[in-house]
Structure 1
């Protein structure tokens, strides 16, 4: 079983693009499982990850395609949390969403994606922004 960690923020289009990238993996409906991670930087109301629309949308898309899912929530610096959860769960790949940038900013990734790419000890899949 190939285990992928999807690091999801609040952007629904980016979450769907990430889910679609996982769905497009070979034999995703039988050989891939996905952990959907949302890291809260500030959560005074005590919300759960499943209350985040982007997490629900990604989970629905993956489950509709037959991909086994599991939701993980954490608090802290998103890049650090992503790397920690990837190690704790010994995932095979981390999937992060890219952002649309101006022409001058296209050479740069967002700070979370860039940090994960530079510090991960496993493959990182960067998806498009999903038409933000």
Structure 2
């Protein structure tokens, strides 16, 4: 089976990567590291380049996990990318990292993580970075 890991180069993304690789190694799954940029954006600090992507794959390989990086572009709703990948890979789990948000931020602002938590068709493992 496959595990999708939502990854951005932040402490939250690192926490998701570590948890996803550990889960995959435990259950013999492969992983797809999803590093999806917004369609039409000219600059996106959350995107990893080829060498950084190769390093992520090497980290998974060191744990005995087959991995690849998916850089599919998404529109207004990143969930479309995850839905397509769940369908095409048969993924059984999505792993994402969460950051701390204030109650006002939670009430007023949507987030990609919130959309994934609410709309995913497979279970979602949400992790936080170590304090």
TM-score (norm 1): 0.73
| Residue in structure 1 matched with residue 124 of structure 2 by the alignment | 124
**Residue 10 to residue 114, structure 1, CA distance change in 2 (3 Å):** same
Partners of 2:70 and 2:4 lie apart in 1 by: 9
8 Å Cα contact 1:38-1:55 kept in structure 2: no
Aligned length: 124
| Gap runs ≥5 in structure 2 | none
Cα contact 1:16–1:61 (8 A) shared by 2: no
Partner of 1:66: 64
Partner of 2:29: 32
2:79 & 2:130 partners in 1: Cα distance?
21
Please give the residue correspondences for 1:91-106 in structure 2 after superposition, counting only pairs within 5 Å.
Answer: 91-102=91-102, 104=103
Bigger strand fraction: 1
Distance 1:70 1:63, change over 3 A: same
Does structure 2 retain, via aligned residues, the 8 Å contact 1:83–1:116? no
Deviations 1:62-108 (A, max 9, x none): 22211110111111232321222222222011111111234x36977
Query: 1:44: how far off?
Result: 3.8
Q: Unpaired segments of 5 or more residues in structure 1? A: none
TM-score normalised to structure 2 length: 0.73
Q: Deviations over 1:45-78 (max 9, x none)?
A: 7xxx650787455433222211110111111232
Structure 1 runs of 4+ aligned residues shifted over 3 Å read 42-45, 52-58, 104-110
